[in-house]
Chain A
Amino acid sequence: GIQVEQSPPDLILQEGANSTLRCNFSDSVNNLQWFHQNPWGQLINLFYIPSGTKQNGRLSATTVATERYSLLYISSSQTTDSGVYFCAVERNAGNNRKLIWGLGTSLAVNP
């Protein structure tokens, strides 16, 4: 099945710093999403981005489908950005489709 690898596994930032999180996947996909799980456990949809670039405030994401990776950029990080960032993808084939999740990047933003 498709493999999803996220890097780095852990990241510690000072408030105000920028960061880039990466998601590599091993097969062509028709669905790629980024999620943020905050320290209270809530899973928040950040981007639905099987290809191209999107921006939402301080966050932006780029997926290069042909090269099988996606990047999540966080600029001017805030303590509320802390939590785990997940990438999830779905293969572009088959009937029993389901999202395959990476293990996440755990981000801590210190004041």
Chain B
Amino acid sequence: DSGVTQTPKHLITATGQRVTLRCSPRSGDLSVYWYQQSLDQGLQFLIQYYNGEERAKGNILERFSAQQFPDLHSELNLSSLELGDSALYFCASSVGRAWGTGELFFGEGSRLTVL
């Protein structure tokens, strides 16, 4: 158990819908990262937050947004869902580092299926 908690574990929804994925980092970790893993594109970095502020951005679509709350949990919002958004979405956390990536610990992922 990495100590990173993600919910829900599985989610099935329809095209055009909106979903929210939730992540609670390990106790004491200030940084949260979101990754998308699909069959044809491997592991893609989406976005990083450090202590509530956005720190680094990857290949995150405009239809996607994220935030980190004062209690350090994070949510990834996916809207206007398309079939191609079906993927495994991982959250990871690390001990606080203002810049760059610390030692990452991953949650079990949220498997999103868009029908």
A residues bordering B, Cβ < 8 Å? 30-31, 33, 35, 41-45, 48, 86, 88, 90, 95-99, 101, 103-104
Interface residue range, chain B: 20 to 34
In whole Å, how far is A87's beta carbon from the nearest beta carbon of chain B?
A: 11
Q: How many pairs, one residue from A and one from B, have CB atoms within 8 Å of each other in the complex?
A: 51
Q: Which among B15-23, B72-80, B96-104 touches the partner chain?
A: B96-104
CA distance A95 to B108 in the complex (A): 29
Name the CB-closest residue of B to A90.
Answer: B101
Known A41-B109, A44-B2; contact A101-B43, beta-carbon cutoff 8 A: yes
Name the CB-closest residue of B to A97.
Answer: B100
Chain A residues touching B, majority SS = strand
In whole Å, how far is B85's beta carbon from the nearest beta carbon of chain A?
A: 17
CA distance A44 to B43 in the complex (A): 14
In whole Å, how far is B5's beta carbon from the nearest beta carbon of chain A?
A: 13
Contact B100 A45 (CB under 8 A): no
Chain B residues touching A, majority SS = strand
B residues bordering A, Cβ < 8 Å? 2, 42-43, 45, 48, 56-58, 88, 90, 92, 99-106, 108-109, 111
Residues of chain B contacted by A42 (CB below 8 angstroms): 106, 108-109
Contact B88 A41 (CB under 8 A): yes
Interface CB pairs A-B, < 8 A, 19 = A31-B101, A33-B104, A41-B109, A42-B106, A42-B108, A42-B109, A43-B92, A43-B109, A45-B104, A45-B106, A48-B103, A86-B43, A90-B100, A96-B56, A96-B57, A97-B99, A98-B48, A98-B58, A103-B42
CA distance A35 to B100 in the complex (A): 18
CA distance A44 to B108 in the complex (A): 9
Contact A97 B106 (CB under 8 A): no
